[in-house]
Every structure is written in C-alpha cells, then in structure tokens.
C-alpha cells in the first residue's frame, strides 16, 4: 500500500483511493453480516427476532446511527474509516501543514463541530437507508423481471389500463425512472473517484465538499490522544475503586459499558464479517467440504437395509407406495421412525406417545426420534 499511497498527491496524510474504497466495502458488508446473524438467531427465537428480521433495514439504520455517532464524536471518523486509520477534518481555507507540524498537536479548527457530525450521519446512515428502501420497493413492483415471464392475459391488461389512478401512474413512473436514476448516481460517484485519483479534487465524495469536510490519515498526535483517553479512563476507574469501594467501581463500569461495547466493535464486526464470508466459502459448490463429503474412490456406501416387520406388528403392503400403514390413507406430513418406516406425523406421534414403540417392528421409539421426510 505504500506505493499506491503516493499516487493521489504529495501530502503524506492524504489517503489513497484504494484505502477509501476499502473502507466503503467494509461498511457495505456490515449489513449482510448483521442480517445473517439475526436470521440464524431468529430461527431459534422467532417470537422475539422475527419482527426484527422483517424490519432489518430500520434496525440496521438504528444500530449504525448510534455506532457512527459514537465514532464521529470520539474519533472524528466513521467506524470503517477509523478501522483503516482515517479521520475526518474540517477543510481549512489555507493549508498550513508545516506550521501545524512545527507547533504539534491537533489544530482546534480541524475538529468536527456538531453540525458536521449531524451532516456526516445523514450521508452515512440516511442515504444508504433510503437507497435500500427504494431498491426494495423497486423489486416489489417487479423491477428487473423480464416482461415475457410475467405476461398477463389481454383481459387483465385491458382492466389494468382502464383503472388509471394517480397511485398507479406514480408507481409506473418510479419503476421506469429508478434504474436510470440509480445508474446516473453510480456514474456520478465514479466520476468523483476518477477525479480524486488524478488529484483533480480533494473530496472523493461530492457531499464532503458540501459540508466542508475532507479525509485524512491519522497521525502520531491522533494515536497519542487516543492512548491518553484510554489511560485516563483506566486511572479514573482505579481511583474510584480505591476511594468509593467495589460497588462504586461496578456502578461506574456499568455506566461506561455502552462506550466499551461500541469500542469493542472494532474487533467484533470484522470478525463477524469474516465468519459470514467463511460460511459462504465453506458451503459453496467449489469448497473443500463438498469434495470431502463424497467418497474418494468407488461408489457411495448404500444405506442399511430396513428392519423386517415383527409378526405381532401391523401388516405392511409393499405394493402400496405413499400409504400410511396406520390410517391406510395417503401420507400427510410424512414422518420416519428410527426403524425406517414412514407414517403420517399425526399417526406416528399418537402411536409413539401411547405405546412408545414402532407399530411395525415393535422396537422402542420416543417422540424426539421422529424425523420429517421430504417426499
């Protein structure tokens, strides 16, 4: 990265385009990682998390609002920017890098104001949320689907055309305009990236120039300030423990726990992204798990033979496939017992709950041993 860092200009603290694109990709991967984790836990606790998964965009925007607000106020950068050692500063009218280097420290005029933090939050959280909702609405309207696949009959088409309302016209207008607007937006951002790469502008995003904020690498003064804050927090906690006792220390720790949790996201979120990407690779068709699952040589091992019926068990007609041996009807919600025989779930559950054994082989069986079968 040292070679590419010098492409965009002569300033040592000016980040390269590759660093800025990398931090944006990290921010874009946070939403699918969070959604995957929520989906896994929602399968176990659907009563509490199913609504959260259904409103995932709103939940993600709310979480990222507090995360980005914390990092902007504490470190002057978003979460992904701080992860890559970048920060935001108020763009000075005249660059005075030599004077600032001679004096030392972080200039007060470069620190973000409250209005800068709120403006950054709008473009970091608000704009991605609106784009996600617009994309979801476009897909709900059938955007991107071949019209031939969803060709409606002439009578339905005439009825739809006859019912011309304002809402229908606006929906059709949105469906026609959205792809062009989204494409123009991406080309606009690409143009700024190219201009930043060739040092034609100091802002890699247009809204940074609107709010008067640019990107900069963190220097030694920034790292010293972060270490000083951490040292003061530890000293304050240790002194409070000595003066007020253990209960006061625990209370102070609970008060500061949200900040500790937000700071720990620097490790937790990248680890969750790595975990999601690892699962995608592991379950992909070209992963080693697929090759290890198959036998290296020879045909696969056949399943064990089904146990023979007991003389006192119910009779089985081997010619009537798809019929439940208990109710003598077609299988409904097919369920297999440990013996290998398949019954309706209701029939198998009632018989095992009452007798505790397989009705054909008379082998012991329990409710938790019932297995659903896809047929």
260-280, pLDDT tens digit by residue? 666 666 666 677 777 777 777
pLDDT of residue 328: 87
pLDDT digits (tens, 9 = 90+) for 42-84: 877 778 788 888 888 888 899 889 888 888 888 888 888 888 8
Which span out of 6-10, 151-155, 370-374 was modeled with the highest average pLDDT? 370-374
The arithmetic mean of pLDDT across residues 240-261, rounded, is 51
* Domain edges within the chain: 2-92+107-218, 306-375
Q: Where in the chain does DSSP place strands (E)? A: 86-90, 213-217, 334-336, 342-344, 371-372
The structure tokens listed for 326 are: 């208990």
Task: Work out the percent of the chain whose per-residue pLDDT is above 90.
Answer: 9
Among 139-153, 308-322, 331-345, the least confident range: 139-153
Query: Above 60 in pLDDT, residue 240?
Result: no
- Note the pLDDT of residue 145: 52
More confident residue, 285 or 232: 285
CA distance 90 to 130: 26
Residue among 27, 212, 8, 257 at smallest CA distance from 125: 27
pLDDT of residue 186: 92
Least confident of 54-58, 176-180, 282-286, 303-307: 282-286
pLDDT at 102 over 80: no
Instruction: Assess contact for 117 and 69: CB atoms under 8 A.
Output: yes
Judging by DSSP bridges, how do beta strands 213-217 and 86-90 pair with one another? antiparallel
Helix (H, G, I), strand (E, B) or coil at 328: coil
27/80 Cα distance (integer angstroms): 6
Give the confidence band of 187 by pLDDT, cuts at 50, 70, 90: very high
If you search the block for the tokens 């339905």, which residue do you land on? 156
pLDDT in tens, 324-348: 888 888 888 889 888 888 899 889 9
Whether the per-residue pLDDT at 175 is higher than 80: the answer is: yes
- Mean pLDDT over all residues of the chain? 76
Q: Which of 109-113, 143-147, 178-182, 203-207 is predicted with the least confidence, judged by mean pLDDT?
A: 143-147
Whether the predicted pLDDT of 228 surpasses 80: no
Q: Report pLDDT for 13.
A: 78
Q: What single string gives the DSSP state of each residue in 237-298?
A: HHHHHHHH-HHHHHHHHHHHHHHHHHHHHHHHHHHHHHHHHHHHHHTSTTSHHHHHHS-SSS
Residue-wise pLDDT for 285-296, tens only, equals 666 655 555 555
| Per-residue pLDDT at 181 | 92
What is the rounded CA–CA span in Å between residue 273 and residue 20?
A: 18
Average pLDDT over residues 149-162: 50
pLDDT at 207 over 70: yes
Nearest one of 142, 134, 121, 14 to 68, comparing CA atoms: 121
pLDDT at 122 over 90: yes
Instruction: Judge contact between 331 and 344, C-beta under 8 A.
Output: yes
Burial group, residue 60, by CB count within 10 angstroms (0-12, 13-18, 19+): buried
| Gap between the Cα atoms of 209 and 203, Å rounded | 6
Residue 5: pLDDT over 60: no
pTM, two decimals, is 0.60
Task: Supply angle C-alpha 350, 353, 354, rounded to 5.
Answer: 85
For the 306-375 domain, the top CATH level (class) is alpha beta
Six-digit token pair at 307? 């146990």
Asked if residue 136 has pLDDT above 80, the reply is yes
Q: Considering only CA atoms, which of 221, 216, 207, 222 is closest in space to residue 8?
A: 216
pLDDT band at 12 (very low <50, low <70, confident <90, very high): confident
Higher-pLDDT residue of 38 and 97 is 38
37 compared with 248, residue with greater pLDDT: 37
pLDDT at 188 exceeding the cut of 90: yes
Asked if the model's pLDDT at residue 26 lies above 90, the reply is no
Question: What's the CA gap between 172 and 142, in Å, rounded?
Answer: 10
Contact in structure between 324 and 333 (CB atoms under 8 Å): no
CB atoms within 10 A of CB 23: 22
């Amino acid at each position: 990265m040292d070679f590419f860092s010098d492409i965009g200009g002569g300033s040592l603290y000016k980040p390269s385009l590759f660093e800025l694109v990398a931090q944006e990709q990290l921010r874009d991967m946070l939403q699918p990682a969070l959604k995957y984790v929520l989906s896994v836990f929602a399968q176990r606790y659907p009563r509490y998390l199913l609504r959260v998964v259904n409103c995932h965009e709103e939940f993600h925007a709310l979480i990222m609002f507090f995360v980005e607000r914390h990092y902007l106020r504490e470190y002057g950068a978003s979460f992904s920017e701080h992860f890559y050692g970048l920060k935001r500063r108020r763009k000075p009218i005249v660059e005075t890098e030599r004077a600032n280097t001679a004096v030392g420290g972080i200039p007060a005029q470069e620190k973000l104001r409250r209005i800068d933090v709120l403006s950054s939050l709008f473009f970091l959280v608000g704009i991605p949320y609106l784009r996600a909702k617009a994309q979801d609405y476009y897909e709900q309207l059938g955007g991107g689907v071949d019209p031939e696949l969803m060709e409606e009959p002439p009578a339905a088409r005439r009825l739809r055309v006859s019912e011309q309302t304002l809402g229908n016209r606006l929906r059709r207008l949105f469906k026609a305009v959205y792809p062009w607007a989204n494409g123009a937006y991406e080309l606009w951002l690409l143009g700024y990236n190219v201009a930043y790469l060739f040092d034609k502008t100091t802002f890699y995003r247009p809204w940074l120039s609107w709010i008067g904020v640019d990107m900069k690498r963190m220097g030694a003064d920034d790292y010293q300030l972060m270490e000083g804050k951490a040292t003061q927090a530890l000293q304050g906690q240790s002194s409070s423990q000595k003066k007020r006792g253990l209960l006061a220390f625990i209370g102070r720790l609970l008060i500061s726990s949200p900040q500790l949790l937000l700071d720990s996201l620097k490790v937790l979120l990248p680890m969750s992204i790595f975990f999601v990407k690892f699962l995608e690779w592991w379950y992909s068709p070209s992963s080693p798990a697929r090759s290890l699952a198959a036998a290296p040589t020879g045909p696969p091992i056949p399943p064990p033979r089904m146990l023979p019926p007991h003389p006192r068990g119910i009779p089985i007609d081997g010619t009537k496939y798809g019929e439940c041996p208990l109710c003598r009807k077609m299988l409904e919600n097919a369920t297999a017992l440990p013996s290998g025989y398949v019954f309706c779930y209701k029939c198998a559950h009632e018989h095992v709950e009452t007798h505790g054994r397989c009705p054909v082989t008379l082998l012991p069986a329990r409710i938790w041993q019932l297995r659903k079968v896809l047929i």
